[in-house]
């Protein structure tokens, strides 16, 4: 293996000022200007560097990036089921049991923990103006507004969170995935999981990494957050499911990997509209057919289930494409030289015509005709 150095052979000067030129330096027939002379340097260091780069490139493409595989992106569906019951006792509501029907809001796909209530019915701002001017008091009149009353007051957020025990609630995540290009499908409730195990397991990254039941407090804790603090103003959490599968191996090796993170920005420097909240109402009619409603402003934690992944399987086409790209990267001329100089029957004839070998590269003084220096590396000068 050789390293190719290309450049011009230049004249030099000895300490006495005499000009020196390399023996065998190529000049034009008239003795004028020199032209570039390719040089092949036999260097163990250069051989090591080039071999390392080639080996690294092959390893990166074929081992790490699996360049021999065809890939496909995951198609997924997710359903969830939350379980948990808690008791509250306040001066406004008295003793009350809260179950899934109360604190899980399907349209929002969230779990709510802090509630504020407003109710009754009247004609007070904010609302729709009727165009009528009505007495506000004995001396002032005002525009009549068709609206709910009393007006909502949301300046005071209850602390601590209303449903503090909700961190012990659990959520069952059922995830089905499909790779259409390979017609491969699977779900996160693995074939090795039976109904007995499913009733008793809780996800733990060390002891139960494939259990699909998660404790809400553990999800928030795994993301580096405090559940009770986050529940006061709300927030958005992500439960991420990663399906990276090598389909050249058995299907049992294709398993989900769970991770957790907080999605909304928790920044003390930005305090405008922090957290997560929404409103919903429940409507009633009394015996006098008067309509009223209970308005709930809920501060809660929204759980987004995010599924992503990639599957790969051996295919001839990407294998050949990457092999061709690798050969092009190494250089077509290098490959041709290897074939001509080492593989063909007339390799010695081609080598004799292509190279002129010299043991030493001596620099000779023009004026004195004596040796000034020697280049210690063995060199081969390429003929044009």
Strands, DSSP E only, in 226-335? Answer: 235-246, 257-262, 277-285, 291-314
Residue 122 DSSP symbol? B
Phi, psi of 330, deg, nearest 5: -70, -20
User: In this structure, how many other beta carbons lie within 10 angstroms of the beta carbon of residue 222?
Assistant: 17
Q: At what angle do helices 44-58 and 316-330 cross, to 10 degrees?
A: 160
* Token pair in block for residue 105: 């809001």
279 annotated ligand binder = yes
Say if residues 226 and 290 touch (Cβ distance below 8 Å). Answer: no
Closest alpha carbon to 130 in 144, 119, 142, 110: 144
Torsion sign, CA atoms 315, 318, 321, 323: negative
Say if residues 307 and 243 touch (Cβ distance below 8 Å). Answer: yes
The residue count of the chain comes to: 384
Say if residues 205 and 190 touch (Cβ distance below 8 Å). Answer: no
170 annotated ligand binder = yes
89 annotated ligand binder = no
**Burial per residue of 244-260, b for 16 or more beta-carbon CB atoms within 10 angstroms, e otherwise:** ebebeeeeeebbbebeb
218 annotated ligand binder = no
81 annotated ligand binder = yes
Q: Cα(148)–Cα(120) distance, rounded to whole angstroms? A: 7
Closest alpha carbon to 128 in 151, 148, 154: 148
User: Residue 277, SS3?
Assistant: strand
∠54-354-45 over CA atoms, to 5°? 35
297 annotated ligand binder = yes
* Token pair in block for residue 2: 């050789």
Q: Which residues are annotated as a binding site for ATP?
A: 81-83, 170, 277-279, 297
Q: Which residues are annotated as a binding site?
A: 81-83, 170, 277-279, 297
């Amino acid at each position: 293996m050789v390293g190719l150095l290309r450049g011009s052979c230049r004249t030099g000067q000895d300490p006495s000022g005499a000009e020196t030129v390399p023996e065998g330096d190529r000049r034009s027939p008239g003795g004028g200007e020199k032209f570039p002379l390719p040089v092949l340097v036999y260097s163990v260091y250069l051989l090591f560097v080039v071999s390392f780069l080639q080996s690294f490139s092959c390893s990166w493409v074929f081992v790490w990036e699996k360049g021999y595989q065809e890939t496909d992106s995951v198609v997924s569906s997710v359903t969830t089921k939350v379980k948990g019951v808690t008791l509250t006792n306040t001066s406004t509501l008295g003793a009350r049991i809260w179950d899934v029907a109360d604190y899980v809001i399907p349209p929002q796909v969230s779990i709510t923990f802090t509630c504020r209530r407003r109710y009754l019915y009247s004609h007070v701002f904010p609302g729709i103006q009727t165009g009528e001017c009505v007495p506000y008091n004995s001396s002032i009149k005002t525009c009549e507004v068709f609206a709910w009353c009393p007006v909502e007051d949301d300046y005071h957020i209850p602390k601590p969170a209303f449903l503090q025990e909700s961190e012990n609630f659990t959520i069952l995540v059922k995830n089905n995935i499909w790779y259409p290009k390979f017609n491969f499908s699977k779900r996160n409730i693995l074939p090795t999981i039976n109904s007995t195990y499913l009733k008793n397991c809780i996800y733990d990254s060390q002891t139960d990494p494939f259990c699909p039941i998660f404790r809400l407090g553990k999800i928030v804790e795994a993301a580096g957050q405090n559940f009770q603090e986050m529940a006061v103003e709300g927030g958005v959490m992500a439960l991420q499911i990663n399906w990276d599968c090598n389909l050249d191996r058995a299907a049992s090796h294709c398993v989900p990997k769970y991770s957790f993170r907080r999605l909304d920005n928790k920044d003390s420097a930005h305090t405008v509209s922090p957290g997560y909240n929404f409103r919903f109402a429940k409507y009633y009619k009394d015996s006098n057919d008067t309509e009223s409603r209970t308005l709930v402003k809920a501060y809660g934690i929204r759980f987004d289930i995010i599924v992503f992944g990639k599957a790969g399987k051996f295919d001839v086409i990407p294998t050949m494409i990457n092999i061709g790209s690798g050969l092009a990267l190494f250089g077509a001329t290098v490959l041709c030289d290897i074939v001509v100089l080492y593989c063909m029957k007339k390799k010695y004839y081609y080598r004799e015509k292509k190279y002129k070998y010299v043991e030493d590269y001596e620099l000779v003084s023009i004026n004195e005709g004596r040796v000034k220096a020697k280049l210690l590396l063995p060199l081969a000068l390429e003929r044009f």
